[in-house]
């Protein structure tokens, strides 16, 4: 009879053997940055599986004892000690220029790769290591503003994580009431747009036949969603969030639905910031719900306009039309509503960052995925968050299957924000 061991138990056994083989020391104190860096150097020189596994586990365990000051010291030490050697690069480049062989090209490529890039991969030697490395990068992200030189280290995390979390390794799951309690608890914890207050609130978002949640998962992070989207099947494009989330509604027969509404997208792992997961998620969810409910005709969002409030408050000439508090929303005149909607349309279509892409991250995301800005809605989110971020305005982005690639290409090549005729009109961009 064959004896089988779960992979984590097997790797723990291998690590224990590796620890005894190489005489791995237990670090003398918490926050031993110097000792941990020495272990990193040993890991880079390690050849065997057992010793490498033991070293990687010891390094990650040691890192978890660090406070913020220790973590910064650790990152700075890696950046300084494991950066590329310019002398090696110059020598490899000269050798390649003399003889442009594949062998010399490989040596040049190796010389230009910092050792901390290799270290990140070597630290991920067991399934449990992946989450620890995501947390490590999350720590690093919080330090970049004050120590911008560490951006080079972060770029290597991005490169490695982009490979680990590419679409081929991700699994799409329809999260329902029978999904494991751990995953459901994480959905409640990670919801970042329209907070889930309790289990009853969650049940209203996944139990009815016209409500569902889809998420991407990685095999090394079984109960940890990477990103998820909440979907409502409706018979019209919504112009406010309250009717979508209300407790007192009659569920719609999915066979009578015409519109799939993506009303909340939550990125769950800060350590994956900048890794493109959402574009794959939306496109695959569109395919899945369309195959399940062929009666669906439209695929739209109901999205926040996150940066509009701050932008408007900075426009001194328009301060007279701004409501000063949430209770003043009802007193806004029709003309001022029209002015605010026009300003929002202009903001989303014309306010660009240095890369010629929208400054609003939600607009950037959906337009970059091939959607178009379909409609802007007044009094769509009447709460403090909606007021502060956008004076209650929300946006519908529409995914038209036949236009997705065309819109995406226009966005990537020219920074074009594709607009419906209605949005062009209120933005004063309608040429007709």
pLDDT beyond 50 at 197:
yes
Q: What's the pLDDT tens digit per position in 330-371? A: 888 999 999 999 999 999 999 999 999 999 999 999 999 999
pLDDT beyond 60 at 377:
yes
pLDDT beyond 90 at 329:
no
pLDDT beyond 60 at 61:
yes
Q: What's the pLDDT tens digit per position in 141-182? A: 999 999 999 999 999 999 999 999 998 999 999 999 999 999
Average pLDDT over residues 4-21: 49
User: Which residues neighbour 11 within 8 Å (Cβ) at sequence distance 6 or greater?
Assistant: 53, 125, 126, 127
* 420 closest CA partner among 412, 430, 411: 430
Q: What's the pLDDT tens digit per position in 271-299? A: 999 998 888 899 999 999 999 999 999 99
CATH of domain 7-164: 1.20.140.90
pLDDT beyond 50 at 15:
no
Q: What's the pLDDT tens digit per position in 218-261? A: 999 989 999 999 999 999 999 999 999 999 999 999 999 999 99
* E strand map for 176-308: 211-217, 227-234, 259-267, 298-301, 303-304
pLDDT of amino acid 279: 81
Sequence spans of domains, the chain? 7-164, 168-426
pTM: 0.87
Average pLDDT over residues 4-31: 53
DSSP state of 217: E
Q: Which percentage of the chain shows pLDDT scores above 70? A: 92
Residue 3's pLDDT band (cuts 50, 70, 90): very low
Q: Do domains 7-164 and 168-426 have the same CATH topology?
A: no
**CA-to-CA separations, 121 to 9, 115, 142, 156, 170, in angstroms, rounded:** 21, 10, 21, 10, 18
CATH match of 168-426 with 3.40.630.150: yes
pLDDT of amino acid 18: 46
pLDDT of amino acid 7: 46
pLDDT of amino acid 29: 65
Q: H/E element holding 175?
A: strand 171-175
DSSP β-bridge partners for residue 419? 373
């Amino acid at each position: 009879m064959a004896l089988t061991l779960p992979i984590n138990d097997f790797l723990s056994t291998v690590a224990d053997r590796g620890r005894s083989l190489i005489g791995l020391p237990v670090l003398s104190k918490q926050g031993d940055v110097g000792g941990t860096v020495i272990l990193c150097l040993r890991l880079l020189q390690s050849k065997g599986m057992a010793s490498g596994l033991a070293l990687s586990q010891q390094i990650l365990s040691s890192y978890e004892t660090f406070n913020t000051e220790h973590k910064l010291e650790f990152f700075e030490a890696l950046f300084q000690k494991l950066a590329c050697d310019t002398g090696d690069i110059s020598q490899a480049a000269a050798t390649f220029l003399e003889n442009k062989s594949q062998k010399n090209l490989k040596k040049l490529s190796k010389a230009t790769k910092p050792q901390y890039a290799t270290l990140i991969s070597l630290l991920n030697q067991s399934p449990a290591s992946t989450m620890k490395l995501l947390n490590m990068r999350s720590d690093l992200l919080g330090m970049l503003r004050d120590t911008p030189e560490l951006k080079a280290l972060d770029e290597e995390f991005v490169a490695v994580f982009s490979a680990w979390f590419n679409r081929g390794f991700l699994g799409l799951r329809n999260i329902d009431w029978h999904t494991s309690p751990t995953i459901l608890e994480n959905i409640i914890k990670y919801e970042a747009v329209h907070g889930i207050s309790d289990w009853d609130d969650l049940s209203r978002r996944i139990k009815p036949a016209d409500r569902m949640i889809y998420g991407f998962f990685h095999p090394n992070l079984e109960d940890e969603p990477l990103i998820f989207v909440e979907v409502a099947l409706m018979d019209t494009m919504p112009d406010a969030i309250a009717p979508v989330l209300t407790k007192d509604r009659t569920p719609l027969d999915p066979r009578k639905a015409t519109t799939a509404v993506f009303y909340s997208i939550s990125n769950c792992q800060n350590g994956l910031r900048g890794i493109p997961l959402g574009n794959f998620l939306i496109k695959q969810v569109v395919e899945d719900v369309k195959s399940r409910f062929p009666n669906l005709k439209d695929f739209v969002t109901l999205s926040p306009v996150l940066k509009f409030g701050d932008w408007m408050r900075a426009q001194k000439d328009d301060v007279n039309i701004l409501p000063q508090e949430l209770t003043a929303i009802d007193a806004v005149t029709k003309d001022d509503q029209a002015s605010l909607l026009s300003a929002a349309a202009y903001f989303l279509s014309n306010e660009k960052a240095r890369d010629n892409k929208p400054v609003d991250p939600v607009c950037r995301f959906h337009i970059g995925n091939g959607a178009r800005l379909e409609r802007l809605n007044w009094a769509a989110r009447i709460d403090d968050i909606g007021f502060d971020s956008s004076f209650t305005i929300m946006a519908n982005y529409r995914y038209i299957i036949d236009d997705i690639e065309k819109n995406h290409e226009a966005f990537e090549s020219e920074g074009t924000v594709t607009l419906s005729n209605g949005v062009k009109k209120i933005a004063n961009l309608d040429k007709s």
